[in-house]
Amino acid sequence: MKKLLLAIAASACATVASAEDIKIGVVLGFTGPIESLTPAMGASAELAMKEVTESGKLLDGSKVESVRGDSTCVDSAAATAAAERLITSDKVSAIMGADCSGVTGAILQNVARPNGVVMVSPSATSPALSTAEDDDLFFRTAPSDARQGQVIADILNDKGIKSVAMTYTNNDYGKGLADSIQSNFEASGGEITISAAHEDGKGDYSAEVGALAQAGGEVLIVAGYLDQGGKGVIQASLDTGAFDTFVLPDGMIGDSLPVAIGDDLNGSFGTVPGTDSQGAEIFDKLAKDAGITPDAFSGESYDAAALIMLAMQAAGSTSSADFKAKVMEVANAPGEEILPGELGKALEILAGGGEIDYVGATAVELVGSGESAGNYREILVEDGKNTTAKFR
């Protein structure tokens, strides 16, 4: 009798182990400087999880559940605590996040590495993360800003702009991007008249703009955040007539900025990771059908979550130590190309021992230590809207 009970218990355990409820942490700055982007980002990641759950093909029909945590984008202590809670108390198998570079680095070093949990960030773009110690646990579907600096320098050169002023938000993201733009632009013969930091969350940026205006320049590069100092600097520049054209890197691209500033922003241009691949269109439609308005980094978020689940399937395990080596494999060639909405098919191929090349919403191609190679959309603000000028 005892043996029978044990056998039943053992078989019950075995079923639980094969079709378990998988939890994935979604750590994004739901409050803070990019809070206008994160709702769509989180929802996009959850869209991928829903798709996988409904397909019923992940690890013999496991359900995937999202557990959200607030990274705040700026407060490393709060972000670390949120991630710690997800791992120790909610027992998530992997983290989709974080968003801003500073908090992402903090979570990676203080939580992900000690606990050995895989992190896939959709939007941390600081060049410093390329070389950070990560025990092969860290990946990002967003490219490093070292690439964005090159793209921005190219755009400036194409437009024949020779001299620019630059301001950046005083953190890892802003500083890294500003350095990258400066080195690339100066290498191609351009002049940066001033590169000054601004602090987020202030009421008044007229003093900062005063200094920028004195240095002069044809346009102003604002490597900041659209809900924060970046917007304040643009508003103050327009008010004082200091600059009328702005270069907007990815942190400044979002539908809320042209709405907040109005027609004066027309003619400004910028960059945001993105591709003209079919995947982007399909994702747009998927997202809209699900009631999500895709904004910057929504596609990357979908892809980040999808990569985690595909790697789990490829490894046949939800343990980070097992599937961390599979992330690059499922993301890159060779194999069958996988577009958004085809996650079920991908899981089936993997279950059958086949290979896939995940393309996803943003033409994912992981290079180096596991970061996106970097396709950018050149944005032009026209008639109060962000429009796509071309792809780079």
- Which stretches of the chain bind other proteins, using CB under 8 A? 31, 35, 170, 194, 196-199, 201-204, 206-211, 213-216, 227, 231-232, 239-242, 260
Q: Which residue number, 134 or 179, has a Cβ lying nearer to other proteins?
A: 179
Q: Which residue number, 240 or 388, has a Cβ lying nearer to other proteins?
A: 240
Q: Establish how many alpha carbons lie within 13 A of residue 23's alpha carbon, considering only the half-sphere containing its beta carbon.
A: 14
Minimum distance from residue 374 beta carbon to other proteins (Å): 31
CB 222 within 8 A of CB 178: no
Return the structure tokens found at 203.
């009421």
CB 27 within 8 A of CB 82: yes
DSSP 352: T
Task: With residue 64 as reference, give the H or E element that holds it.
Answer: strand 63-70
Minimum distance from residue 264 beta carbon to other proteins (Å): 10
Give the separation between CA 71 and CA 68, rounded to whole angstroms: 10
Q: Which residue number, 202 or 385, has a Cβ lying nearer to other proteins?
A: 202
Q: CA 309 → CA 63, 99, 314, 376, distances in Å? A: 11, 19, 9, 25
Minimum distance from residue 207 beta carbon to other proteins (Å): 5
Give the separation between CA 114 and CA 28, rounded to whole angstroms: 20
Minimum distance from residue 254 beta carbon to other proteins (Å): 14
Q: Which residue number, 257 or 309, has a Cβ lying nearer to other proteins?
A: 257
Minimum distance from residue 246 beta carbon to other proteins (Å): 16
CB 127 within 8 A of CB 180: yes
Q: Which residue number, 260 or 351, has a Cβ lying nearer to other proteins?
A: 260
Minimum distance from residue 336 beta carbon to other proteins (Å): 45
Give the helix ranges, DSSP H, for the chain.
2-18, 38-55, 76-88, 101-107, 113-115, 128-131, 145-158, 172-187, 206-215, 229-240, 256-261, 278-289, 298-315, 320-323, 327-331, 343-351
Tell me the three state secondary structure of residue 58.
Answer: coil
Q: Which residue number, 140 or 198, has a Cβ lying nearer to other proteins?
A: 198
Q: Which residue number, 216 or 354, has a Cβ lying nearer to other proteins?
A: 216
Give the separation between CA 83 and CA 80, rounded to whole angstroms: 5
CB 135 within 8 A of CB 113: yes
Q: Which residue number, 150 or 237, has a Cβ lying nearer to other proteins?
A: 237
Minimum distance from residue 107 beta carbon to other proteins (Å): 23
Minimum distance from residue 204 beta carbon to other proteins (Å): 5
Minimum distance from residue 221 beta carbon to other proteins (Å): 17
- Burial (CB < 10 A; 0-12, 13-18, 19+), residue 294, is buried
Return the structure tokens found at 237.
């520049």
CB 97 within 8 A of CB 107: yes
Q: Which residue number, 72 or 148, has a Cβ lying nearer to other proteins?
A: 72
